[in-house]
Chain A
Amino acid sequence: MQPDAPQQFTVSFAGSIVTIDYDSAEALAYLAFLFGDASIENESTEGLSHLVLQRGDEPGSFHLSDRSTRLHYGPLDVLFSAHLFDSVIFHLVNHARNGIALHGGGLICKGKTVLLPGQSGAGKSTLTAWLTSAQCTYLTDELIFIPLDGQGKVHYLTRPICLKPGSVPLIEPLLQPQQREMIMKDQHGAIIPYRFLNPDSSTAQQPPSLIILPDFNLDSEPELEKVSKAQLSTLLMGCHVNARNLEEHGFRNIVEIARSTPAYRLRYRSFDDIEDMIGDIVPL
């Protein structure tokens, strides 16, 4: 499609919608690469936000703006993608009030739904990518939304796997040679379609039945350690991204998740470490 006039791309998640105006086929292809799996769901919306992705004056450069505020300018590379994801996710959770939004990865491993919460740099995307290549079904590497009442479906923001520079050399060998030419990669990291690691997908809606806290640390001995419920509650509050929208910041709901879900911390330096330890808790 060669749009002549601005068109609109829609990203929806857990009842929130972000629309992105774009003005070129290149922008559309880029948005489809990043958000093609974040489909429109037929449910009422709690929030509608608006971004604009426009061609810049310099060839190959684009503006990302939030109404009147420029958020980023440059080529459609990994860095631009990081800014766009940050903006979209912010708007998706900014008004979310009927559930807990957690920063983390999610997969299904032999019928068991696994949540990998963690702050930036913990190694959750790397572990998510490895588990996907080990034939777990990828759900997300970034965001999960668990309804407060435990009744509604759980939402997983499905997007390509986003890796920091340090993780790219670990994951690239898992790809086929021709796939390595088709990923987005530069000095800021890489963005890899999850289907390159495992083509299986799922519209899973069940809550996690196991939590693994990744801890990628080259300086520590590998370890798989059971995490207590109180400790898990505290850690999950650090990954809770819409706390201010909820009564008591959703603390009691987080505690209920921690009470009902077994959790482990997985400290690893390499994928060999993971293979040695993961089988004790995750069927592969």
Chain B
Amino acid sequence: MDVSGVIRLKEGFLLERIDDEVSVYHPTLTTAVYLNETGALIWELCDGQRTVAEIIGILSDQYPGNEAQIADDVKSVISRLVEHQIGELIT
């Protein structure tokens, strides 16, 4: 994954936050994605301006000592959002 890319979320998705987790559904795409607590944090940082690297950096600052795991988690979540067409990675 090109971590200099920016994840842009598609318009029109529906979102529910439940107990620190997130369920996202896009009616036009008829696709649903579940994000656990970690995924929900990553989702919050996908503002259409931040690069993948910046998101990794922000979370690494918040949770020092877990940089490798954080990088894997961020890339995994973004890959799922792209796979479900809820997000698009702009490089």
**Tally of A-B residue pairs with Cβ under 8 A?**
56
Closest chain A CB from B83 CB (angstroms) = 14
Chain A CB within 8 A of B44 CB: no
Closest chain B CB from A12 CB (angstroms) = 28
Let me know if A234 and B23 touch, CB within 8 A. Answer: yes
Assembled-state Cα–Cα distance A252/B14 (Å): 9
Size category, A interface = 10 to 19
Chain A CB within 8 A of B64 CB: no
**Stretch among B3-11, B27-35, B51-59, B67-75 lining the A interface:** B27-35
Chain B CB within 8 A of A144 CB: no
Let me know if A230 and B23 touch, CB within 8 A. Answer: yes
Q: A249-B25, A251-B25 are in contact. Are A230 and B19 (CB under 8 A)?
A: yes
Main secondary structure of the interface of A (DSSP, over half): helix
Q: A238-B32, A249-B27, A251-B27 are in contact. Are A231 and B21 (CB under 8 A)?
A: yes
Binary flags per residue of B18-48, CB closer than 8 Å to A gives 1, else 0: 1101111101001011111000000000000
CB-CB contacts below 8 Å: A180-238 with B: 228-231, 233-235, 237-238
Q: Which residues of B contact A235 (CB under 8 A)?
A: 34
Size category, B interface = 10 to 19
Closest chain B CB from A1 CB (angstroms) = 44
Chain B CB within 8 A of A243 CB: yes
Closest chain B CB from A215 CB (angstroms) = 15
Q: Which residues of B contact A231 (CB under 8 A)?
A: 21, 23, 34, 36
Binary flags per residue of A237-261, CB closer than 8 Å to B gives 1, else 0: 1100001000011011001001100
Q: Which residues of B contact A251 (CB under 8 A)?
A: 14, 16, 25, 27
Let me know if B18 and A229 touch, CB within 8 A. Answer: yes
Q: Which residues of A contact B34 (CB under 8 A)?
A: 230-231, 233-235
Assembled-state Cα–Cα distance A233/B23 (Å): 7
Residues of B that sit less than 8 Å from A by CB:
14, 16-19, 21-25, 27, 30, 32-36
23 residue pairs A–B, Cβ–Cβ below 8 Å: A228-B18, A228-B36, A229-B21, A230-B16, A230-B19, A230-B34, A230-B35, A230-B36, A231-B36, A233-B16, A233-B18, A233-B23, A233-B32, A233-B34, A234-B23, A234-B34, A237-B32, A248-B14, A249-B25, A251-B14, A251-B27, A255-B18, A259-B18
